[in-house]
Structure 1
């Protein structure tokens, strides 16, 4: 464990120029160590008590919420290091949101809204995240707290001030936030990738998909089961009938399924039933562009549906690989909450939320670098 601790100190020093004072760097190092530790509840107070002592609790709190240090530089440095570790020209940027249940009304952006963790409307915070996946590995690269529209009403003015929400911030939908974060990645250009993947909340929005296509990127967009298309093969080709919901296509007798090995896992091959076919998109009942429709049947019979603007001559193997690259962002959420205290924070401020998530990113990157380092040694 001593060697791992030394590795952690050296890793955090890579971000040393993001801080104004040595004390800030030490507070950041203790927070990162706390997220990676076996402290049961990884909130600021518990981490400070475990690593620095009771006198440091207030300083550790201020490190996240008040102290001035360059988190944007840290984020860009993190993205560059992730690119060095796993960047590939045919990688995938992914976008998804995750919610964290919260009690009370004082935490920044908290509101009664749909909570994916609980599968119902609940008092929670919701964040939009961008991830990156390649054959070499994956990680989270950016984040933005979704602030519900009600928070921009006059009755919330004092609450916005207390939480430190930037005065210039205006309401944005999750889709607008996602596109802004993705465009930032495209402009920064640190992480190469030809693909952009999304879950059904984002992927079902035609304007979202159109924007990605205008950027010259390929998308693999999960969609809702009621999205309508016209099949371009089989009995429905050229029939002139109304467009079909993708769920109807999945149930149709003429839809061909194939059992494929998506990847070789530690417990054996990852096998799935997949249908891949060309369709024409329906836009408000009118024919749109030709796309790939990919349907995946999960264990238990549950179906997932995807649209892709990949060219018609793209090999099926590449589409299957894209399917695999879509899920790691969800694995990041699961691992972050299970092991790294992603949902343990108790800081109520705008800065606190974003800085906490940034340090969760760093914790994931540290573990990724360790895995790649030891894997390389074992291969020698």
Structure 2
């Protein structure tokens, strides 16, 4: 990277942070937020505070940074509101997802033995419910909230974790619906909402989306029942798929992954689903490799083309990849604090960093650089800042340049 490009990148990062100025209650908070974002972007192996602080070019006080994240009383909500305002696209598909954050102990707020998607099993973890706007090849984080199991709202757990008094227990699907309302209130036009089977299987969740006037394509388990139009017998989705004629299935490609085209066989039929007297779409997907099937319900109009159903249903693939980047590249699951405010602070700053990287990707020409590729470019700049701040390191590097060491 050239000096001009490096300086321009740092200027854009500073300008990005300046747009949150009104959210900071103290001037020092702007400084600490900048250091934290630089830590998330630098080459520290783990995104907990000590490793990040140790690789900052202008680290300042470690205790000050720790207090800013863990103990300071600043609210995350204004930052989320501003982050939504800064998203450069105003329409798309809204993906609802929950992200499992594995934990070793029992002291971190919200932790308990529950299903962890990251591990694919019941494990000790936290779960974050989030939404992201999918527009083209990019996803933009719009909200994130830590799911609090019932036990964390009793006095024994609430007080040490500093969970606000008004907070009451809410199921994950209710949190998700509240976030959809927030996104709509922010002025986004949603083509549809997509979610996995943990949400799609809940009739109340689907009904809540319909009351909001929102289209959805949501995954559902194979054992959920439905009735084919023109029949009187309720059957499992697997049985309905088995009854479809071979001509009902079509091979469709929906994207391109690192290993080649992403494609499968799909079929769509109109059905009456549980707790609904109206007909809905049942979309069936069958793997070309092992024949494994997945199922989706949708309230899109009856004249919706099959390719449109597939495109929307499979748009979640993009968010799954980019959530992986959020955890592996920006350390969403590395936070070691135990308080509820601390977790919220880390989450919104990680989301700000994520969306900044998406803005940087959006600036580039096709083909769009991957998330790790754009982060590596920024890591080079952060490393250069670190070396210039360490005179001994810089002197050593210059001496090696003038007189290269022997081959190792």
Q: What TM-score results when the alignment is normalised by the length of structure 1? A: 0.88
Shifted more, 339-348 versus 144-153: the winner is 144-153
Greater Rg over alpha carbons, structure = 2
Q: State the distance in 1 between where 2:158 and 2:274 align.
A: 42
Counterpart of 1:171 in structure 2 is 169
Specify which of 282, 286, 300 is matched with residue 274 of structure 2: 282
Please identify, of 251-260 and 24-33, the stretch whose mean Cα deviation from structure 2 is larger: 251-260
Match of 1:260 among 252, 276, 291: 252
Q: Is the 8 A contact 1:263 1:270 kept in 2?
A: yes
- In the alignment, what sits opposite 1:62? 67
How far the C-alpha of 1:311 sits from its partner, in A, is 0.7
Partner of 1:317: 307
Matching residue of 1:139: 140
TM alignment of 1:111-260, pairs within 5 A:
111-135=112-136, 137-153=138-154, 157-189=155-187, 191-232=188-229, 237-238=230-231, 240=232, 242-252=233-243, 254=245, 256-260=248-252
Q: Secondary structure at the match of 2:115?
A: strand
Change (3 A) 1:72 1:282: closer
**Kept in 1: contact 2:252–2:307 (CA 8 A):** no
Does 1:51 pair with 2:40?
no
CA RMSD across the alignment: 2.2
Deviation, 1:263, is: 3.4
Bigger shift: 361-370 or 64-73?
A: 64-73
Partner of 2:285: 296
Give yes or no for contact 1:229–1:281 (8 Å, CA) kept in 2.
yes
Q: Deviations over 1:89-130 (max 9, x none)?
A: xx1112111111112221111112222222222211111111
1:265, distance to aligned residue in structure 2 (A): 5.9
Alpha-carbon displacement from aligned partner over 1:293-347 (angstroms, at most 9, x marks no partner): 1111234332211000001012223212212323333223211111111111111
For structure 2, list consecutive stretches of 5 or more residues without a partner in the other structure. Answer: 369-408
Structure 1 unaligned segments of length 5 or more: list them: none
Change (3 A) 1:196 1:150: same
For 1:279 and 1:377, the matched residues in 2 are separated by 41
Pick one of 262, 269, 280 that aligns with 1:270: 262
CA distance in 1, matches of 2:198, 2:260: 31
Higher alpha-carbon deviation: 350-359 or 11-20: 11-20
Displacement of 1:221 in angstroms is 0.9
Partners of 1:222 and 1:320 in 2: CA distance: 12
CA distance in 2, matches of 1:324, 1:252: 24
Describe the shift of the 1:207–1:33 C-alpha distance in structure 2 as closer, same or farther (beyond 3 A). same
CA contact (8 A) 1:139 1:332 kept: no
CA distance in 2, matches of 1:52, 1:107: 30
Post-superposition Cα deviations, 1:213-245, rounded to whole Å, max 9, x if no partner, equal: 11111011110111111223xxxx43x3x3111
What SS class does the counterpart of residue 94 from structure 2 fall into?
strand
Question: Aligned residue pairs: how many?
Answer: 361
**TM-score normalized with structure 2 length:** 0.83
Task: Note the C-alpha offset of 1:68.
Answer: 3.7
- 1:373 and 2:356 matched: no
SS at 1:99 equivalent? strand
